[in-house]
Amino acid sequence: MVKKSNNKDQVRLNLTRECTEMLCVKENIFNLELEKEDFKIYSSNKKDKFLCVYYNFLDNSFIEFIKEIKKLKGDKIVYMFSVDDTVDKNLFKGIKNLTIEAIPQRILDVYKQLVKMNIPVKKELIFLEINKAKIKIFEEKEKNEGARILRIVLEKTIQKIAQNSGLDIYSAKGKEEKISSLNDLLKKGKIITQVEWEETKIYLTIGNHASHGDYAEYDLEQAQNFYKHIQNLLNKFNI
């Protein structure tokens, strides 16, 4: 999307210009109010929030940018190009209801977050791993390795159910939500039952024991029930 250049600052500047739409998605502000060579201003549907993006190094156009921002009534979110990822807030002295973010680093962070949030959990991987666990537990009677694999499968299964139910499996910081937290959200949304919620908690604990080498904390029958619990979830949610 961005042309190569030997000047790294120019590459970052080009990236800033190309990725404004991503900032619109992040802030949920899409209506273009004003477009100049060095900046754009967007408004929310209610005209109570504004996204203001300045693309260039400090130039004469920045004075005009400030004048336009001062006209806005409501919350203002300013994204401004910066080589060192900092913005001098004194440049906006006297302007109220203002939030300032340096870019393009912020754009890169948002991009990573949006990409992660939309990476689907592949059910093929779930089936591959659960079949390994089935062989370990039911054929080889190897509860420890089987339970360890099932811990991973349960995590991916809960994530898949959450994604299919419209829940984000990543936090605002771009990190994966804990499975225990997703389990709670699924129960709160009445997507899973109280019994399924409780069983998931139990088998997460068993899976953690297997991962940490605490093999005396569970037996083969519990490992087999662990497998059955996941299989029931896969069947119920058509995964």
Count: domains in the chain = 2
CATH number at residue 174: 1.20.120
Helices (H), 19-60: 20-27
Query: Which residues does residue 79 pair with via DSSP β-bridges, in sequence order?
Result: 53, 101
Residues 153 and 195 in one domain: yes
1 inside domain: no
Residue ending a domain, choose from 98, 116, 134: 116
Range of the domain at 146: 120-236
Rg over alpha carbons for the chain, rounded to the nearest Å, is: 25
Q: 49-54 and 75-81: which strand pairing?
A: parallel
Tens place of pLDDT for every residue, the chain, 239 residues?
Answer: 444 444 445 555 566 666 788 788 889 999 999 999 889 999 999 999 999 998 877 778 899 999 999 999 999 999 987 767 788 888 898 899 999 988 756 555 655 555 454 555 667 778 889 999 999 999 999 999 999 999 999 999 999 899 888 887 876 666 778 899 999 999 999 999 999 999 999 999 999 999 999 999 999 999 999 999 999 999 999 98
3-state secondary structure of 169: coil
- Per the listing, tokens 């060579």 go with 37
